[in-house]
Chain A
Amino acid sequence: MEESSGERAPSTPQLLNLIRDEREWKVIREAEDGGGSSTTTSPDAEEDDYKLELKLGLPGAQDDERTARPGEEMEQQQEGCTALSLGSGCFPSHSKLATSTGATTTGAKRGFLATVGAKAEGCKQRQEDREECGNELLTLGGENMAGERKKGCCPPSSSHGSAAAGPVHSSSSSNPHLTRGAVLPVVGWPPVRSFRRNLTNASSFKQSPEQQNDEACDKAKQTCKRSPLIKINMDGIPIGRKINLSAYDNYQKLSSAVEDLFCGFLEAAQKDLACSGVGKQGAEEKIFSGLLDGTGEYTLICEDSEGDRTLVGDLPWNVFVSTTKRLRVTKSSELPHGLIKTVSERADN
């Protein structure tokens, strides 16, 4: 613990001042994979006292980058504010910014930059803070590879699948006033257990009778009505998952979401098989194909509040979403008798 990295500095590669030469931040607009990236040069009033002394063994680079947000007043921010990005090039997910009209983002791990606008004013005062911080080091490594990087680094999350429109807020206010009911689209944040989400759904904030006419109470009730996470289990896998049905709008998407939820387990189980990378994927696809029509190795079954089981796909989507209480991915060979008939009918069609 006591050893300081100063002594080790010689062995660690010096961080080159990549930042000075090209201050470009790849900003990927509409949430699309790799496409349409626009580069914006953010203005910088960088300091000339660019210290190269090693403090704690890390070469210093003072820089005032900011990831620019299209159309926002970021560009007007002349003074240096310490960059908030995480070396944005590395993770396209972080560069994905909702436009001010609030484009939906499909990646799950994003959202923290959405509040960048709010920091605008905060930055002015942070000049002094930065002096004390000493030299700051921005890690930009890999920035050039942003384009090549796949979005695969954002695991899809069932609970935030296609979250509601990213937070929209007026850029001038310091307190982001987000749309009522908008969901903060970041995985695992705030750090509460998932059963707390269903908790707020179930109840509607009971109040003493005299307060029930309160408007705030009504609004609270409205925002509470979020679709619950329903359980989904797969034969042979002890760990169940949860899924938010309202995040999808048709059976096909549901089917691929189910594949996403359980593919990790199957790979674990199949690790012993001598498969090449391609082979594994092929096997995976085989397992999950035909979930809906009964032709595959597994079939998707839904259960309503009375415990009646039906094949998924029979009902219109909206009815399905509102009546289903549980889902199961059952081995087609072990389907209950009544359902087997339906399956073969469906296969014939």
Chain B
Amino acid sequence: MGRGGSRAAPAAAAPPWHVLPDEVWEHAFSFLPADSDRGAAAAACRSWLRAERRSRRRLAVANCYAASPQDAVDRFPAVRAVEVKGKPHFADFGLVPPAWGAAAAPWVAAAADGWPLVEEISFKRMVVTDDCLEMIAASFRNFQVLRLVSCEGFSTAGLAAIAAGCRNLRELDLQENEIEDCSIHWLSLFPESFTSLVTLNFSCLEGDVNITVLERLVTRCRNLKTLKLNNAIPLDKLANLLRKAPQIVELGTGRFSADYHPDLFSKLEAAFAGCKSLRRLSGAWDAVPEYLPAFYCVCEGLTSLNLSYATVRGPELIKFISRCKNLQLLWVMDLIEDHGLAVVASSCNKLQELRVFPSAPFDAAEQVSLTERGLVDVSASCPMLESVLYFCRRMTNEALITIAKNRPNFTCFRLCIIEPHTPDYTTHQPLDAGFSAIVESCKGLRRLSVSGLLTDSVFKSIGAHADRLEMLSIAFAGNSDLGLHYILSGCKSLKKLEIRDCPFGDKPLLANAAKLETMRSLWMSTCSLTLGACRQLARKMPRLSVEVMNDPRRGCPLDSLTDESPVETLYVYRTIAGPRSDTPACVQIV
């Protein structure tokens, strides 16, 4: 190294360890796995900051309003992959006014200007317009990956621009977006010379797709590993596609219903038999039990099975899943019922993630026999289970305590008891004891959703024990301000807190204002907040953006409302960008 070593001592002194060229630090930082580690390194000293930020390739902006696009571009000039998330999580359930914001356009514009070498863009819960997609297609020479999750505002015209313009596209991954169908044959716009596709996921598209064009595309993209079709692709076409892409690793089937025909069955069976690399399976809308055996040959190799759209029940379903002995991820509807989960428990011992979705979420009465038993069985027999999302209609403290004892390795535990305020159905107690057991036992818990009848005491436990908890969702729970206070004054690692319909008021919010700056965001809707408290919070904490949302039909501008006015929805997040300027009328920044 010899830098700055003019004072030669007899024993050659090495330069001080920190005096190294930036390139060395950049290389060192490239081994840091997590962005948070890189961020910590950057905070150590100015030279590390310089080295780190100039070499950062991947940037994840968890809240699009936490910083401006220009801030991001200025700070990290060499970014090649950017991910931006917009609306709060409860937007998925219709609690966020549709005109709220989260436009992707400013990010695309800033990227086009400042990051011309960008190769990957991901947007989640943002409004992406066709103009955005056209700009992406036109601005980035080496654009390779487009991932849109839960976005809206674009149509097949935008997809057409991507298909036509992105010569090096490797991944087009559209998950659960609202896509307007303009009857444009966007798939045809991939040029004949285009062969680089590795991932194609258009499962959320509602319209028809030209099957012939799709087949040609699939045939010439020899590296295609992930193909997820939409509901418009019928079963017989699936067989043809599979024959053209036997190297497929992840498959989302199209519509899986058809009248049973032995010919079609054999065709399917043969096609699947050829897919020796298939590991992940999803789709299966309207799956018909008679066709499930066509899958049998791939069951052994499957590590991931998403049947959460498959409204199939009965022995065929269970037999099918029980053959998937290597499953690590299973998403199903509650049609599997307790006895089905018992079979899963005994067959799929490598299970790591289980999600059980409600088949009739808006019905008041119980239609399927899925209770706490199913979850207890799975937790008992699957030693690697660490992530659960479970919708059911009844639960007991005893079951939760058992589950907690069985599986202290949970990192994500989300229980949704469909009817609010449901107590333990055998003892009629609140479920405080059960959830307390979960947080006390599962020391690595990062995400928790609670439900059922709960008092403040469960929040006391959560605040005290859930040291690693990063995201907490609460609905219809608690009795008083104390509940919120326990959470905000505890939960050392809390990043996101979302609350709805709980009797939490102004006091705990104001008392723990400083905590909010250590968190990414706080959502409170239909609680007991007043405008005065929100104003006070905003005054006290200038680096928080305090958004208040009320019914747009109300008419009165927020300025005219008194401090005592109730606040329907509060969304608070830390930001370095100051108040945003794109709020609709129903949202006010206090």
A136 touches which of B288, B419, B479 (Cβ 8 Å): B479
Find out whether the CB atom of A194 lies under 8 angstroms from the CB atom of B94: yes
- Evaluate whether A133 and B460 lie within 8 angstroms (CB atoms) in the complex, with A84-B421, A121-B428 already known: yes
A177 to B313, CA, bound (A): 24
Distance in Å: Cβ of A100 to nearest Cβ of chain B: 15
A238 to B101, CA, bound (A): 12
A129 to B566, CA, bound (A): 30
A139 to B456, CA, bound (A): 14
Find out whether the CB atom of A130 lies under 8 angstroms from the CB atom of B555: no
Q: Mark A150-177, 1 if CB is under 8 A from B, else 0.
A: 1011111101000000010000001111
Is B357 positioned at the interface, with any CB of A under 8 Å from its CB?
A: yes
- Evaluate whether A138 and B480 lie within 8 angstroms (CB atoms) in the complex, with A192-B357, A200-B311, A207-B314 already known: yes
Q: Mark A82-125, 1 if CB is under 8 A from B, else 0.
A: 11111100110110000000000000010110011011011011
User: In A282-328, which residues have CB < 8 Å from any B CB?
Assistant: none
Find out whether the CB atom of B456 lies under 8 angstroms from the CB atom of A189: no
- Evaluate whether A190 and B416 lie within 8 angstroms (CB atoms) in the complex, with A112-B476, A240-B180, A264-B98 already known: yes
Q: Mark A175-200, 1 if CB is under 8 A from B, else 0.
A: 11111111110111111111111011
Find out whether the CB atom of A188 lies under 8 angstroms from the CB atom of B94: yes
Find out whether the CB atom of B453 lies under 8 angstroms from the CB atom of A122: yes
Tell me which residues across on chain A come within 8 A of B555, comparing CB atoms: 152, 277, 281
A82 to B429, CA, bound (A): 13
Tell me which residues across on chain A come within 8 A of B314, comparing CB atoms: 207-208, 211
A111 to B501, CA, bound (A): 10
Find out whether the CB atom of A220 lies under 8 angstroms from the CB atom of B479: no
Distance in Å: Cβ of A125 to nearest Cβ of chain B: 5
Distance in Å: Cβ of B318 to nearest Cβ of chain A: 10
- Evaluate whether A1 and B518 lie within 8 angstroms (CB atoms) in the complex, with A211-B314, A240-B152 already known: yes
Find out whether the CB atom of B557 lies under 8 angstroms from the CB atom of A277: yes
Tell me which residues across on chain A come within 8 A of B425, comparing CB atoms: 174-175
A202 to B63, CA, bound (A): 35
- Evaluate whether A184 and B98 lie within 8 angstroms (CB atoms) in the complex, with A109-B526, A122-B453 already known: no
A179 touches which of B359, B365, B432, B553 (Cβ 8 Å): B365
User: In B507-555, which residues have CB < 8 Å from any A CB?
Assistant: 507-508, 510-512, 514-515, 518, 526-528, 530, 550-555
Find out whether the CB atom of B286 lies under 8 angstroms from the CB atom of A58: no
Q: Mark B312-334, 1 if CB is under 8 A from A, else 0.
A: 11111000000000000000000
Distance in Å: Cβ of A108 to nearest Cβ of chain B: 10
User: In B468-514, which residues have CB < 8 Å from any A CB?
Assistant: 473, 475-476, 479-482, 485, 488-492, 500-508, 510-512, 514
Is A16 positioned at the interface, with any CB of B under 8 Å from its CB?
A: no
Find out whether the CB atom of A178 lies under 8 angstroms from the CB atom of B365: yes
User: In A197-217, which residues have CB < 8 Å from any B CB?
Assistant: 197, 199-200, 202-209, 211, 216
Chain B interface, DSSP helix/strand/loop, else mixed: loop
User: In B320-372, which residues have CB < 8 Å from any A CB?
Assistant: 335, 357-365, 367
A191 to B418, CA, bound (A): 9
A340 to B250, CA, bound (A): 50
Find out whether the CB atom of A190 lies under 8 angstroms from the CB atom of B418: yes
Distance in Å: Cβ of A313 to nearest Cβ of chain B: 24
Find out whether the CB atom of A180 lies under 8 angstroms from the CB atom of B365: yes
Tell me which residues across on chain B come within 8 A of A132, comparing CB atoms: 457
Is B154 positioned at the interface, with any CB of A under 8 Å from its CB?
A: yes
Distance in Å: Cβ of B321 to nearest Cβ of chain A: 14
Find out whether the CB atom of B93 lies under 8 angstroms from the CB atom of A191: yes
Tell me which residues across on chain B come within 8 A of A274, comparing CB atoms: none
- Evaluate whether A142 and B93 lie within 8 angstroms (CB atoms) in the complex, with A12-B511, A206-B289, A224-B360 already known: no
Is A56 positioned at the interface, with any CB of B under 8 Å from its CB?
A: yes
Find out whether the CB atom of A264 lies under 8 angstroms from the CB atom of B505: no
Question: What is the size, in residues, of chain A's interface with B at 8 Å between Cβ atoms?
Answer: 112
Distance in Å: Cβ of B181 to nearest Cβ of chain A: 9
A186 to B421, CA, bound (A): 13
Find out whether the CB atom of A133 lies under 8 angstroms from the CB atom of B428: no
Find out whether the CB atom of B551 lies under 8 angstroms from the CB atom of A186: no
User: In A321-343, which residues have CB < 8 Å from any B CB?
Assistant: none
A85 touches which of B475, B503, B550 (Cβ 8 Å): B503
A56 to B460, CA, bound (A): 12
Find out whether the CB atom of A238 lies under 8 angstroms from the CB atom of B394: no
Tell me which residues across on chain B come within 8 A of A182, comparing CB atoms: 363-365
Find out whether the CB atom of B311 lies under 8 angstroms from the CB atom of A205: yes
| Interface hit among A2-10, A43-51, A70-78, A247-255 | A2-10
Tell me which residues across on chain B come within 8 A of A180, comparing CB atoms: 363-365
Tell me which residues across on chain A come within 8 A of B514, comparing CB atoms: 1, 3
A23 to B443, CA, bound (A): 43
- Evaluate whether A145 and B564 lie within 8 angstroms (CB atoms) in the complex, with A86-B527, A226-B362, A238-B153 already known: yes
User: In B536-582, which residues have CB < 8 Å from any A CB?
Assistant: 550-557, 564, 566, 568, 582
B176 touches which of A86, A136, A193 (Cβ 8 Å): A193
A268 to B506, CA, bound (A): 29
Tell me which residues across on chain A come within 8 A of B582, comparing CB atoms: 268
Q: Mark B259-302, 1 if CB is under 8 A from A, else 0.
A: 00000000000000000000000000111111000000000000
B394 touches which of A159, A175, A267 (Cβ 8 Å): A175
In the complex, which of the residues A141, A167, A195, A204 has the most CB atoms of chain B within 10 Å of its own CB atom?
A141
Distance in Å: Cβ of A283 to nearest Cβ of chain B: 12
A203 to B166, CA, bound (A): 38
Determine the residue in chain A with the shortest Cβ distance to B315.
Answer: A208
Is B391 positioned at the interface, with any CB of A under 8 Å from its CB?
A: yes
Find out whether the CB atom of A199 lies under 8 angstroms from the CB atom of B479: no
Determine the residue in chain B with the shortest Cβ distance to A81.
Answer: B479
Determine the residue in chain A with the shortest Cβ distance to B502.
Answer: A86
Distance in Å: Cβ of B528 to nearest Cβ of chain A: 4
Is A260 positioned at the interface, with any CB of B under 8 Å from its CB?
A: yes
Determine the residue in chain B with the shortest Cβ distance to A237.
Answer: B99
Find out whether the CB atom of B566 lies under 8 angstroms from the CB atom of A206: no
Find out whether the CB atom of B551 lies under 8 angstroms from the CB atom of A174: no
The 10 A-B residue pairs whose C-beta atoms are closest, nearest first, are: A178-B364, A5-B511, A188-B93, A267-B585, A139-B505, A238-B153, A268-B584, A152-B554, A122-B428, A203-B311
Residue contacts A-B, CB under 8 angstroms, 27 given: A85-B503, A86-B502, A94-B526, A121-B428, A124-B428, A129-B429, A129-B455, A133-B460, A139-B506, A139-B528, A142-B566, A157-B94, A167-B364, A178-B365, A179-B364, A183-B364, A184-B418, A188-B93, A200-B311, A206-B257, A208-B314, A216-B367, A238-B129, A238-B153, A264-B99, A265-B98, A267-B586
Give chain A's interface residues, CB within 8 Å of chain B.
Answer: 1, 3-5, 8-9, 12, 15, 56-58, 82-87, 90-91, 93-94, 109, 111-112, 115-116, 118-119, 121-122, 124-126, 129-130, 132-139, 141-142, 145, 149-150, 152-157, 159, 167, 174-184, 186-197, 199-200, 202-209, 211, 216, 219-220, 223-224, 226, 233, 238-241, 260-261, 263-265, 267-268, 271, 277, 280-281
Give chain B's interface residues, CB within 8 Å of chain A.
Answer: 90, 92-95, 97-99, 127, 129-130, 152-154, 176, 178, 180, 257, 285-290, 309, 311-316, 335, 357-365, 367, 391, 394, 416, 418-423, 425, 427-430, 432, 453, 455-457, 460, 473, 475-476, 479-482, 485, 488-492, 500-508, 510-512, 514-515, 518, 526-528, 530, 550-557, 564, 566, 568, 582-586
Known: A86-B502, A112-B476; 16 extra A-B contacts, CB below 8 A, are A5-B507, A12-B510, A58-B508, A83-B479, A87-B505, A126-B429, A129-B432, A133-B457, A141-B505, A156-B553, A183-B363, A202-B285, A206-B313, A240-B152, A263-B553, A268-B585
